[in-house]
Every structure is written in structure tokens, then in C-alpha cells.
């Protein structure tokens, strides 16, 4: 129990560390920042300095702050951390193996949404309250379309276990056996919704600089703000991992006919998984750096009027495919 907890924490720290390094580098390259010419050593050491700085920052908590204000970052952080144990990095190494791990994953993410609302609500600040309402409405809108597009996958695979879904995509066709081909609409809906969901978090918004979106965290400082920000990074990693697992064959390699998954070494499986995750993370950063932020009412419109119907169409396609395959 303690061992698997420690392993989860280590995986989470490594994931956040890698994403921060990647983010710093990608964004400095895209925005012509001279920091992009720094060496690898400096790039790798930078997150350490960030951590030391944010830990040593003076934390400002007013006396009238209530219990919820202190608890909210933990309510955001802990479920997201727990969700790391649900991800199968290879066939041999599984911290948990629930039959409903996909449902558990979304349940945990939804708890962190509550934490975000509590953070804004308990700040006793009108701006934070508006920001919290906005963030929560956006998170829920995107989670609905994500949930329905995932439902199509679990129909096709006949399971809610992430590991089983990955195994169901294994075939001699390799790349062409993955679910992103038959359920293409679902994959697109998942990716766009996940971008909407994650943009609320780590997109330079959290300190409420330019918009009221990140205002739910405006009153936080020091380690509490760090917990909120780190949970955003972890969510980015987790959603990329789930996206890679359900649509892109998780730890399977793309050359199914030549190298069967059973013959792969677990480390090789992990390698393929990480490659997929970081390609997705890269795409997310690419969108983030190159596009302006849309207004949140436009995003809600997109979620409810476009993405939700599309995900329902995708669900119908999945059922149709099952029906045809049954015949």
C-alpha cells in the first residue's frame, strides 16, 4: 500500500517535472525568448529553482479565512494525485486494476472541480467568485462531452477498465487497429474538450493577470498556489495519458504486424506510451502558444452546441460498428 503510494507520488513528480521543462522550452522557442538558447542543464535545473522559490514565498492568509479556504487546494490536489495510480504504463506494471478505472478517473477529476469552486467561493472576494463560477461552468461543459466520447470507446471495447481497452486495440494491424480511426469524431471531441478543460488551468491564467478566468486562485499564495498550479500540470499529463490509452493504443507499439505486444519488453511499452503522451502534450502547448484565448461564453457554446452533439453522433457510430460487427 505504502509502496504503491510512493510510486504514484514519484510518477506524478516526474510527470510534472517533465511537463514543466517541456513547457518552458517550447514556449520560449515559440515566443523568440532568448532563454530558449539556454543549455539543457539550465533547463533541467530551472523547475528546482521554481520549487524552492514558491516554497520559500511568504504566505498571506488573512485571519478571517475559513477552513474551506485552507482545504480547497488539497481537495483539488489529492484526487488528481490519486488518479495517477489508475494509469497502466505497461502490461506488467499496474498499481491498481479496477474494472471501472475509467469511471474512477473521471470521478476523481470531478472532485477536483469542486475544489476549484470552493477555492473561489471561500476567498470571500467577488472577483474570485465570478472566476470560480466561470471555471466550473467550463470544466463541467467539457467533461460532459469527454464523458460521452469515452462512452463510445468503452462500448467498442466492452469494458471500463483502461488496461482492457488498451488490450482490445492490440491487433496485427498495429496503428490501424487503434480506436482513433473508427471513432475519429470522438477523438477530435476529446482533444478539443480537453484543451478547453486544461486551458482554464495552466495557461498563464491562474494568477488572474488578464482575465477573470483564473481569478478563483487570486487570493492564494505560496504553497497553496503551487498546489493549484501543479494539479493543472498533472491534469494535463493525465488527460494526455487517457487520450493516448483510449484512442491511440496506450502502451502498444504502432507496428503491430511486425512486433506483437506480447513480445515487447515492458520498458519498450512504457517508451511508446510516453512518446504518445508527450506528442499530445506538445500539441496542447502548440495550441496554447499560437492562438488567442476565446471568450468563455463562446467556449460554452462550442461545448454544448457543437461538441456535445458530435460526441453523441460518435456514440451512434460506435453502436453501428458494434451492430455490423455482430452480424
Min CB(214)–other proteins separation in Å? 9
CB of 55 to other proteins, least distance (A): 23
Q: Is 93 helix (H, G, I), strand (E, B) or coil?
A: coil
SS3 153: helix
Q: Supply the DSSP string of 222-268, one letter for each residue.
A: HHHHHHHHHHHHHHHHHHHHHHHHHHS-TT--S-TTTS-GGGS-HHH
Q: Which is nearer to other proteins, 33 or 97 (CB)?
A: 33
In whole angstroms, the minimum distance from the beta carbon of 33 to other proteins comes to 6
Closer Cβ to other proteins, 137 or 171, answer by number: 137
- Taking the C-alpha atoms of residue 153 and residue 157, their distance in angstroms, rounded to an integer, is 6
- When the beta carbons of 127 and 274 are compared against other proteins, the nearer one is 127
DSSP state of 292: P
Q: Are 199 and 191 in contact (CB under 8 A)?
A: no
Q: Which is nearer to other proteins, 212 or 311 (CB)?
A: 212
Give least dist CB 235 to other proteins, A: 19
78 phi-psi bin (left φ>0, alpha ψ -120 to 50, beta other): alpha
Q: Where are the beta strands (DSSP E) in 4-57?
A: none
**Closest distance between other proteins and the C-beta of residue 209, in Å?**
6
CB of 229 to other proteins, least distance (A): 17
| Residue 166 · residue 249 · CB < 8 Å | yes
DSSP assignment, residue 94?
Answer: -
CB 24 within 8 A of CB 46: yes
Which of 265, 295 has the CB closer to other proteins? 295
> What CA–CA distance (Å, rounded) separates 113 from 123?
16
Among 133, 108, 132, 109, residue whose Cα is nearest residue 220: 132
Minimum distance, C-beta of residue 280 to other proteins, in the bound complex (Å): 20
Closer to other proteins by Cβ: residue 218 or 318: 218
Q: How far is the CB of 287 from other proteins (least distance, A)?
A: 11
- Burial tier of 217 (Cβ tally within 10 Å: 0-12, 13-18, 19+): buried
d(CA 46, CA 174): 39
Q: Which residues sit at the interface with other proteins, rule CB under 8 A?
A: 27, 30-33, 126-127, 129-130, 203-205, 207-213, 215, 218, 289-298
Instruction: For other proteins, give the closer residue by CB, 107 or 291.
Output: 291
- Asked if 289 and 27 touch (Cβ cutoff 8 Å), the reply is yes
Complex with other proteins: residue 208 or 312, whichever CB lies closer? 208
Rounded to the nearest whole angstrom, what is the least distance from the CB of residue 309 to other proteins in the complex? 20
CA dihedral 125, 126, 130, 133 (to 10 degrees): 60
Nearer to other proteins by Cβ, of 267 and 294: the residue is 294
Amino acid at each position: 500500500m505504502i509502496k504503491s503510494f510512493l510510486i504514484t507520488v514519484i510518477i506524478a513528480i516526474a510527470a510534472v517535472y517533465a511537463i514543466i521543462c517541456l513547457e518552458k522550452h517550447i514556449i520560449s522557442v515559440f515566443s523568440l525568448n532568448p532563454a530558449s538558447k539556454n543549455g539543457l542543464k539550465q533547463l533541467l535545473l530551472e523547475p528546482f529553482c521554481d520549487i524552492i522559490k514558491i516554497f520559500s514565498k511568504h504566505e498571506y492568509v488573512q485571519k478571517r479565512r475559513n477552513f474551506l479556504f485552507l482545504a480547497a487546494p488539497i481537495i483539488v490536489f489529492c484526487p488528481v494525485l490519486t488518479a495517477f495510480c489508475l494509469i497502466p504504463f505497461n502490461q506488467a506494471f499496474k498499481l491498481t486494476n479496477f474494472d471501472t478505472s475509467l469511471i474512477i478517473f473521471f470521478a476523481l477529476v470531478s472532485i477536483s472541480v469542486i475544489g476549484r469552486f470552493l477555492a473561489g467561493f471561500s476567498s470571500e472576494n467577488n472577483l474570485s467568485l465570478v472566476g470560480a463560477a466561470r471555471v466550473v461552468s467550463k470544466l463541467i461543459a467539457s467533461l460532459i462531452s469527454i464523458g460521452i466520447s469515452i462512452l463510445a470507446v468503452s462500448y467498442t471495447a466492452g469494458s471500463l477498465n483502461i488496461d482492457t481497452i488498451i488490450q482490445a486495440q492490440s491487433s496485427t494491424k498495429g496503428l490501424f487497429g487503434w480506436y482513433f480511426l473508427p471513432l475519429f469524431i470522438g477523438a477530435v471531441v476529446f482533444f478539443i474538450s480537453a484543451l478547453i478543460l486544461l486551458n482554464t488551468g495552466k495557461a498563464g491564467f491562474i494568477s488572474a493577470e488578464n482575465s477573470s478566468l483564473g481569478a478563483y486562485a487570486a487570493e492564494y499564495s505560496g504553497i497553496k498556489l503551487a498546489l493549484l498550479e501543479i494539479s493543472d500540470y498533472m491534469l494535463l499529463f493525465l488527460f494526455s495519458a487517457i487520450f493516448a490509452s483510449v484512442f491511440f493504443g496506450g502502451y502498444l507499439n504502432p507496428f503491430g504486424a511486425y512486433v506483437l505486444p506480447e513480445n515487447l519488453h515492458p520498458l519498450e511499452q512504457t517508451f511508446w506510451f510516453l512518446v504518445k503522451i508527450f506528442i499530445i502534450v506538445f500539441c496542447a502547448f502548440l495550441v496554447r502558444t499560437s492562438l488567442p484565448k476565446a471568450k468563455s461564453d463562446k467556449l460554452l457554446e462550442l461545448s454544448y452546441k457543437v461538441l456535445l452533439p458530435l460526441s453523441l453522433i460518435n456514440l451512434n457510430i460506435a453502436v453501428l460498428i458494434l451492430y455490423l460487427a455482430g452480424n
